[in-house]
């Protein structure tokens, strides 16, 4: 099987049960050279109100690497397949759900049920029993955060879980069709554009493909962002951190990054396709993977 086909099949395994999707029309690709990864993958976390409408989706749709894949995942990423939440262009954040059969977890002084310090929490994924009918690889939802207390903004490099105390599934009341199927189509189309633009060789080097779907409540739009980082044919070594015995060394290189963005309206009509042209990008490699 070609590498590109394997990427898409693996990326969309969790969405395989979704009905097929094809947009009614496909606008031409808009190319842009004036872009920054930080705009597509915001590093910090904006404040989350007590109830927020957004996209709940499985992390299995979001992170793929190759071809030198050791199977390990960075410690700050949620377990593959667990639900994460995104809204208004934010990168997906792991969600811990309040559940009677969950594990007692400290959530902050006086921030739990009835002003206690703990909640019973568990992670969810499609196929795990829950009280809110979360079964698909992606849902548009109203998420109640920390019993209406919300979550304050966090600086870059922070690690956190949102605490979901209630979930109201909206899906087709907010967006026509299956979000997972739309992501599947966009992933295939993005791979095709990468190849059309003469960048297929990036899939033969060490690469990391990130996918960031998000829901903009005020605009009633679904946006799907793709970021491809790759060593490319001639990566330039920069430096390595001091190595510790029996551990992999972290080394920096200058490689390549490119990206794409798809925007759909609430009727699942494709509004715009944007291709962000390749540019040099500093990469960190640890254990045969781009971080």
Copy the structure tokens of residue 217.
């409540």
pLDDT recorded at residue 224: 97
Over residues 186-221, the pLDDT tens digits come to: 999 999 999 999 999 998 889 999 999 999 999 999
Question: Given this model, what pLDDT does residue 80 score?
Answer: 62
Pair 276, 260: CB distance under 8 Å: yes
CA distance 215 to 175: 10
* Residue 14 predicted with pLDDT over 50: no
Which pLDDT belongs to residue 73?
52
Residue in 185, 279, 200, 262 with CA at minimum distance from that of residue 226? 262
8 A C-beta contact, residue 33 and residue 277: yes
Q: What percent of the chain has pLDDT over 90?
A: 65
Residue 287 has pLDDT above 90, yes or no: no
Whether pLDDT at 120 is above 60: yes
Average pLDDT estimate for 263-287? 95
**Percentage of the chain exceeding pLDDT 70:** 88
Average pLDDT over residues 40-47: 93
Asked if 45 and 153 count as a contact pair (C-beta separation under 8 A), the reply is yes
The model's pTM is 0.86
DSSP per-residue letters across the chain: --HHHHHHHHHTGGGTTSPP---S--PPEEEES---HHHHS-SSB--B-SEEEEEEEEGGGTEEEESS--S---TTSPPTT-EEEE-TTPPPEEEEEEEEEEEEEE-STT-SGGG-SEEEEE---TTS--SS---SSEEEEEEEETTTT-B--B-TT----EEEEEEEE-GGGTSSS-HHHHHHHHHHHHHHHHHHTT-GGGGGSSEEEEEEEEEETTTTEEEEEEEEEE--SS-EEEEEPPP-TTSPPEEEEEEEEEEEEEEEETT--EEEEEEEEEEEEEEEEETTEE-
- DSSP string across 189-223: HHHHHHHHTT-GGGGGSSEEEEEEEEEETTTTEEE
Tell me the C-alpha distance between 289 and 280, whole Å. Answer: 18
Highest mean pLDDT among 16-20, 100-104, 164-168: 164-168
pLDDT of residue 289: 84
What was the pLDDT predicted at 32? 97
């Amino acid at each position: 099987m070609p590498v590109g086909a394997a990427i898409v099949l693996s990326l969309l395994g969790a969405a395989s049960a979704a009905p097929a999707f094809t947009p009614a029309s496909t606008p031409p690709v808009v190319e842009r050279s004036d872009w920054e990864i930080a705009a597509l993958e915001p590093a910090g976390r904006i404040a989350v109100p007590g109830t927020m409408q957004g996209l709940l989706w499985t992390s299995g749709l979001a992170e793929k690497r190759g071809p030198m894949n050791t199977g390990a995942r960075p410690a700050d990423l949620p377990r593959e397949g667990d639900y994460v939440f995104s809204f208004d262009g934010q990168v997906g954040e792991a969600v811990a759900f309040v559940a009677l059969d969950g594990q007692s977890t400290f959530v902050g002084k006086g921030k739990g049920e009835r002003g206690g310090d703990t909640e019973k929490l568990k992670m969810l994924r499609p196929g795990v029993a829950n009280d809110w009918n979360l079964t698909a690889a992606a849902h548009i939802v109203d998420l109640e955060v920390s019993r209406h207390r919300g979550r304050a903004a966090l600086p870059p490099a922070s690690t956190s879980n949102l605490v979901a105390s209630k979930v109201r599934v909206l899906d087709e009341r907010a967006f026509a069709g299956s979000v997972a199927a739309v992501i599947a189509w966009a992933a295939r189309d993005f791979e095709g554009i990468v190849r059309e633009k003469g960048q297929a060789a990036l899939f033969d080097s060490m690469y990391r493909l990130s996918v960031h779907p998000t829901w903009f409540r005020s605009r009633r739009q679904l946006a799907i962002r793709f970021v491809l980082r790759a060593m490319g044919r001639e990566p330039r070594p920069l430096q390595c951190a001091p190595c510790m015995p029996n551990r992999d060394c972290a080394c920096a290189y200058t490689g390549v990054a490119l990206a794409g963005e798809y925007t759909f309206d609430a009727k699942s009509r494709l509004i715009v396709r944007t291709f962000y042209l390749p540019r040099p990008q500093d990469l960190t490699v640890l254990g045969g993977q781009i971080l």
